[in-house]
Homo-oligomer: A and B are copies of this chain.
Amino acid sequence: MENFTFQSPTQFIFGSDTHKRVGKYVAQCGGKRALVLYGGGSVLRSGVLHEVLDSLDAAGVDCVTLGGVQPNPGSSFVYQAIEAAREAQVDFLLAVGGGSVIDTAKAVALGTPYAGDFLDFFRGKPATEALPVGVVLTIPAAGSEGSPNTVITDEENKIKKGTKADCLRPRFAVLNPELTFTLPKYQSACGISDMMSHILERYFTKTPDNAVTDRMCEAVLLAVKDVAMRVIIDSEDYQAQAALMWAGMLAHNNICGVGREQDWASHALAHQLSALFDSAHGAALAVIFPAWMRYCLDEDVERFARLAANVWEVPAGDDKRQMALAGIERYQEFLRGLGLPTKLEHLDVPEEAIPQLVELLVAANGPTVGNFKKLTAADAEAIYRLAL
């Protein structure tokens, strides 16, 4: 266990109907004029956006709205939103949506008070100042509602890259599981893959002695495993959606990651699929993570065997490597059972694209990615090939 600091100051307001009180929370944060960001038409059709705007109005918070955030959100929309935020002189950003909308709001929060290009913060400039961000979550997946992270695609250079800073943790997040009832099954499945990946990136570490954090990781993975199929079968299963919504936050606010080096190679590999082929993030992870596991298995067979036993109920045995492989196989079966892709071809990514994927990976991350095993370009290529 390494030294660490941890602070997760976000206020979580969880439960039925909570989004109808969002105006109160914006006002409590001092917000007087908000830019409300959202994605497609679903929050319009469902009436959620209307209820949010009513609540802002009732709390005396002025607002302007801007819809159209896309999955794998891009820099051009962020530039446009920064302009809108400046023009309207907003002092608060309210994201109504999932990870793409929240990440966009965070990028706008960084860019609005900054004289230069907001992408500077995605190229290494430390972020210390941002407008406050609040969230009404509609997709449990990215965990951005409780995290200091944001990921944006630099569309000009086709680079999908993240940054993080404490000032980007949302002030509050309203989590109403009912808002997820209309999610398509495939999107729910992608969310499940995404949140499990967030934990696995933290689970695979070479830092020894992680009694508490290891158990926390396994706990959230077990809970997600326990309820996942319920939301695929019945998207209006409130309790299962509630469990996923809370798990998605816990998977990424770093309570499951303190005190250890984390990996994050699979995310880097998956990001290139999204940047080049616009693959859904969770789907890309469903393809990449098992391939990464097989490739990195011999880095620490015991750790893979532990995961297999404690999460995937693989019977304990003398052959740890066999246990580990059985665990990976069960994870892949689980993802397949949710209707997710397991091979690059399911994402319409051809073998010929691999050199370009590797090139993009190196451009975005430098000569190596990951920590559990520091992957070179050759390692990355081998993992992409394992995923064919």
Chain A residues with a Cβ under 8 A of chain B: 1-16, 18, 208-209, 211-216, 218-220, 222-223, 226-227, 239-240, 242-243, 246-247, 250, 255, 258-259
Contact = CB atoms under 8 A, between A and B. Distances in A.
Nearest to A10: B7
A250 B213 CA distance: 11
Contact of A212 (B7, B13, B15, B250): B250
A2 to B, nearest CB: 7
Count of chain copies? 2
A212 B3 contact: no
Given A1-B239, A11-B5, A246 B223 contact: no
Given A9-B9, A209-B239, A14 B218 contact: no
A209 B242 contact: yes
Contacts of A240: 211
B219 A246 contact: no
Contact of A226 (B16, B18, B211, B255): B211
16 contacts: A3-B15, A3-B18, A4-B12, A7-B10, A14-B259, A209-B242, A209-B243, A211-B240, A211-B243, A212-B220, A212-B223, A215-B219, A215-B226, A218-B219, A246-B258, A250-B255
B9 A4 contact: no
Given A13-B5, A16-B3, A246 B259 contact: yes
A220 B209 CA distance: 15
A369 B82 CA distance: 55
A213 B219 CA distance: 9
